[in-house]
Structure 1
């Protein structure tokens, strides 16, 4: 019965299925951003952030904890969704602990890109590759595991080197509006249901909006909404759709690896994946576009999310700040991965 209410079924014959998929993604992002605003208003993020600060004890442990959390969660919940939840929390943590939120946000963007590369559902490009090449989940995990482990080691080294052992002073706990927080968490659970295809989006959206309306704070939630960031998502979604209509280049070997990583710096890694989807080797393509997720500001949506939130918190944040650390991680990933690919005969 419910299958008849999926957008892909309702709009079949009217819109390209790939465009429908992009529309569903945009609706989910819109709802997710509204819910995170509600949770911020409820005081729940502040409460959780203060608890994390008190448990971490030092600046370095706090940074390692948050970055590892983003890295691990991104493999299973998709990197964009994880950042929409964690970066606002990080800003709260920065306020109460006086940690360098700008640098921590940069590393969380890197962690989201790096962590999400492991699974076929960790990010949009992996979803496309796994479907386009019909890659079994087990094969995908094994193919990406070496790069995932290399990325984790590099991330932890960079974070540990950048953040010191400054002691964090214990902060007082604050009460949150539990009823509003509970409604926000319930709405969050409903948003995640489409990822398991449990309920169609036209059922999810009214339920989530109804829960948010019942908080009595909907006008404030909408005033907090970042329309610029959402507008950027809309542009990227349609650029991605039109990239599918381009001729799919058939590259292989080193040309595929370096072209996919390099093209991602210019057009973002999702459109780059579509443009190069004529390649026979799914693994080299996946490795290239995932390495390419770090580097420039537009190399991935995750980087843009992290930048936008941190910029809103600290107006002094520059694109160059993100690109400096992103380029360093991109170069380190590439230099560490190429010898492994040569040794295993993949390249």
Structure 2
């Protein structure tokens, strides 16, 4: 019990969200029953399942095997960083940004055991990469799924709409990666080569990964989650004990805080006038809201007043850069890193990336409209 409660007691970010929620609740009219519907439980179920599966693969020890191979395959920090950033961007286009991070961040953390790589910086760039890569496809992230379902474009049409911004953003990120990582050789640590791994736990975790992804597509996530719980209770209870359960509480608190924020009387009149804004106003509003309440809730809020246009799609995806709340993927990556300093270092790269992407997207928008 102490193992399960410890993350909740030491999670300062969770405590801040709870205090914020209590303050907002004093000014926002609501009914208690509405708090349950304010939470996107499908997201929570998905996150919970991914936490279990990733922890199962991690505890199997196979990430160490892959980490060792990567360290021996790549000779220089810069080439390894470019490989990981590219892999993060590609995975996020069809596995979603969150799933890509659940695969790559634990693998990246094992690299610390074998080398002196700047692992925390590499995780920051992976978070930026999944935000940049996932904007390309309608299934790359939750906000794109929402925009796609509300719009008139097909799968290929949506990709064509996002392609110019995705290409320039990824090119910019690759350039930033090139200058942010040294070309010096990777300094390897002397580690016992005979580290074992549990084949049975790995195979079961990978197989259940496939089952869970299919269940998500079939909208049977809750049943798949119950199956995961039963499997890990039978074969590896330590997987369930090792999970950072407070991360789920953070997401629940964020959903409730956003609900309170949208119910504040002082915001009701401005929300009713969103549709009257010009292109520039809508663009800045979508990016600004994303910085405060995250880009998925911002998309939900804005789709009540605005069409699922190219400008809105570009803006909420760009909003994933910048401040930590801009994208839930940022929170997932930094939480998994387990490094307090990474929270501040993240903004040294993410805020310039936000400002540059904002300028790129607006320039592209004006250029396309003028053509």
Q: What TM-score does the superposition give when structure 1 sets the normalisation length?
A: 0.86
Indicate the residue corresponding to 1:162 in structure 2: 180
- Structure 1 residue matching 2:182: 3-state secondary structure: coil
The correspondence of residues 200-279 of structure 1 with structure 2, limited to 5 A, is 200-215=220-235, 217-218=236-237, 220-239=238-257, 247=271, 249-250=274-275, 251-277=277-303, 278-279=305-306
User: Which one is further off, 122-131 or 220-229?
Assistant: 220-229
In the alignment, structure 1 residue 302 sits paired with structure 2 residue 325: no
With over 3 angstroms needed to count, the CA separation of the structure-2 counterparts of 1:241 and 1:20, relative to structure 1, is closer
Q: CA RMSD in A?
A: 2.5
Distance 1:188 1:242 in 2: 35
1:103 and 1:236 map into 2 onto residues whose CA distance is 26
Higher relative contact order (CA 8 A, sep 6+): 2
- Identify the residue that residue 188 of structure 1 maps to in structure 2: 209
Is residue 75 from structure 1 mapped to residue 93 from structure 2 by the alignment? yes
Say which SS state the counterpart of residue 295 (structure 1) adopts. coil
Query: Residues of 2 paired with 1:202 and 1:346: CA distance?
Result: 48
State the match for 1:322 in structure 2. 346
Q: 1:237 & 1:121 partners in 2: Cα distance?
A: 21
Q: Which residue of 2 aligns with 1:179?
A: 200
Structure 1 window deviating more from structure 2 (163-172 vs 82-91): it is 163-172
Deviations 1:238-277 (A, max 9, x none): 4566788875632441111121112211121112112222
Q: Which runs of 5+ in 1 are unaligned?
A: 1-14
The counterpart of 2:315, out of the listed 278, 288, 306, is 288
Distance 1:146 1:190, change over 3 A: same
How far off is 1:332 after superposition? 1.4
1:191–1:240 distance in 2 versus 1, CA, 3 Å: farther
Tell me the CA shift for residue 21 of structure 1: 8.9
1:159-194 Cα offsets, whole Å, 9 max, x none, are 110111222256747431111111111121112113
Kept in 2: contact 1:243–1:271 (CA 8 A): no
Superposed displacement of residue 346, structure 1: 7.4
Contact 2:314/2:361, CA 8 A, preserved across alignment: no
| CA–CA separation in structure 1 for the residues paired with 2:279 and 2:370 | 8
Asked whether the equivalents of residues 243 and 275 of structure 1 are also in contact (C-alpha less than 8 Å), the reply is no
Distance in 1 (CA, whole Å) between partners of 2:333 and 2:296 is 17
Aligned match of 1:338:
362
Q: Distance in 2 between matches of 1:298 and 1:203?
A: 30
Aligned residue pair count = 326
1:24 is displaced (CA, Å) by 2.2
Q: Please give the per-residue CA displacement for 1:137-158, whole angstroms capped at 9, x wherever unaligned.
A: 1221111001110111011001
Residue 341 and residue 162 in structure 1: after superposition, are their counterparts in 2 closer, same or farther (change >3 A)? same
Q: Distance in 2 between matches of 1:127 and 1:291?
A: 16
Q: Which sections of structure 2, spanning at least 5 residues, go unmatched?
A: 1-32
Shift in Å, 1:73: 0.7
